[in-house]
């Protein structure tokens, strides 16, 4: 759905109602809205982009698309993870087509221009006529790969196209505040679940994770966390919910279900972390593919002092796979519902359970406002 979007799109959303309305359906089904997000939201934010443990060896390279831009992540000679625009500086061919190890040099398959792992252009065969001849006015140093700001927090890679977006520590601070003494660096990845493409807008997956309202209905067979024990979290750009269970509730949790004190925290726009006492973390990577499709991964982390058998880890994978599929069904049905004319008003949000969803939507709306036509 390509269309011109004007400021009237957010009239109902901005109205001072009780309860407040959500974002209009267009925000979830319009390719134009997705383009505004790419330009005004993802291109100007610290965006979660990958897992460091998947790029563990020098020369490991991983292509992806962020903010509508082809990029790649790479582990350099000095063991740092870096990000570059994924285009050769000669004719702008996509340089990296698939996850692999490139050795000590990236070579463009079209005309064999070669770059080292720090993005420096090293070789342009026959560009000036002879095998090693450069043409007048051309300088290797000025034509290396274009870097993107990249920071790694523990196992999580964030990139930022905008040099004015602020330091990563300011971005992370609200989540660290909510986690208190829980030190994420003490957790190790033990499993990844790759869900492939989910047929819904990325915001629906984020909003679903943020609010606890649905848990006792959607996850009644996979979780043992009563709604009344949850509370919403709004701490700067850290949005979500949490649940505190008594020792008795934990002891009485159904076998094979999730029944522990937990935090469900996000960092706007797309970082998702669940903490599960006493010794587990789960982190989601949601990558928007287009207005109606999101690619999703989940990595399970265990505290380094805990011992889990292979079967216990498989049981965790099975549990979380089931929980996510329950959420995916809701997300896909929400996506279909957003195509209805009735969705133009955005539905209504609980002033108690969905205040973090409302805050998330406000951050989205405020980010894209500069791109709306008056």
Please report, for residues 187, 190, 254, the alpha-carbon distance to residue 311 in angstroms, rounded to integers and kept in the order given.
19, 12, 19
Length of the chain (residues)? 374
pLDDT (tens digit, 0 to 9) for every residue of the chain, 374 residues total? 457 899 999 999 999 989 999 999 999 999 999 999 999 999 999 999 999 999 999 999 999 999 999 999 999 999 999 999 999 999 999 999 999 999 999 999 999 999 999 999 999 998 988 878 788 889 999 999 999 999 999 999 999 999 888 999 999 999 999 999 999 999 999 999 999 999 999 999 999 999 999 988 988 888 878 788 889 999 999 999 998 888 888 888 777 778 788 899 999 999 999 999 999 999 999 999 999 999 999 999 999 999 999 999 999 999 999 999 999 999 999 999 999 999 999 999 999 999 999 999 999 999 999 999 98
DSSP 105: -
Architecture, CATH, for domain 7-43+182-371: Alpha-Beta Complex (3.90)
Note the pTM of the prediction, 2 decimals. Answer: 0.94
How far apart are the C-alpha atoms of 201 and 364, rounded to whole Å?
13
CATH level 3 topology of 47-153: Rieske Iron-sulfur Protein (2.102.10)
Contact of 26 with 36, CB cutoff 8 Å: no
How far apart are the C-alpha atoms of 262 and 283, rounded to whole Å?
13
Q: Where along the chain do the CATH 3.90.380.10 domains lie?
A: 7-43+182-371
Within 10 angstroms of residue 129's Cβ, the number of other Cβ atoms is 8
User: DSSP string covering 49-84, please?
Assistant: EEEGGGS-STTEEEEEEETTEEEEEEE-TTS-EEEE
Q: Where along the chain do the CATH 2.102.10.10 domains lie?
A: 47-153
């Amino acid at each position: 759905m390509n269309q011109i979007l004007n400021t009237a799109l957010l009239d109902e959303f901005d109205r001072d109602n009780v309860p407040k309305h959500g974002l209009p359906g267009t925000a979830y089904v319009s390719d134009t809205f997705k383009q505004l997000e790419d330009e005004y939201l993802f291109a100007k934010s610290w965006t979660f982009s990958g897992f460091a443990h998947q790029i563990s060896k020098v020369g490991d390279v991983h292509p992806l698309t962020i903010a509508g831009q082809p990029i790649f992540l790479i582990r350099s000679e000095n063991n740092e993870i870096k990000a570059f625009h994924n285009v050769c500086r000669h004719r702008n061919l996509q340089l990296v087509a698939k996850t692999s190890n490139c050795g000590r040099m990236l070579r463009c398959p079209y005309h064999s221009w070669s770059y080292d792992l720090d993005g420096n252009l090293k070789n342009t065969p026959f560009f000036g006529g002879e095998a090693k001849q450069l043409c007048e006015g051309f300088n290797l140093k000025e034509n290396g790969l274009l870097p993107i700001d990249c920071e790694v927090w523990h196992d999580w890679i964030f990139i930022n196209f905008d040099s004015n977006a602020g330091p990563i520590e300011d971005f992370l601070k609200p989540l660290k505040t909510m986690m208190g003494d829980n030190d994420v660096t003490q957790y190790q990845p033990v499993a990844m679940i790759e869900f492939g493409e989910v047929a819904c807008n990325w915001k629906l997956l984020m909003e679903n994770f943020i609010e606890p309202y649905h848990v006792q209905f959607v996850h009644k067979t996979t979780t043992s966390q009563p709604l009344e024990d949850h509370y919403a979290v709004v701490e700067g750009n850290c949005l979500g919910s949490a649940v505190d269970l008594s020792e008795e509730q934990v002891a009485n949790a159904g076998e094979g279900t999730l029944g522990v004190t937990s935090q469900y925290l996000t960092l706007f726009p797309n970082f998702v972390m669940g903490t599960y006492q006493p010794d587990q973390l789960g982190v989601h990577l949601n990558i928007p593919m287009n207005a109606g499709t999101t690619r999703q991964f989940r990595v399970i982390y265990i505290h380094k002092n805990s011992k889990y058998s292979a079967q216990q880890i498989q049981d965790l994978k099975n549990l979380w796979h089931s929980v996510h599929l329950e959420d995916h069904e809701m997300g896909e049905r929400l996506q279909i519902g957003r195509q209805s004319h009735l969705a133009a008003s955005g539905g209504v949000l609980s002033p108690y359970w969905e205040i973090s969803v409302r805050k998330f939507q406000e951050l989205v709306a405020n980010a894209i406002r500069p791109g709306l036509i008056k």
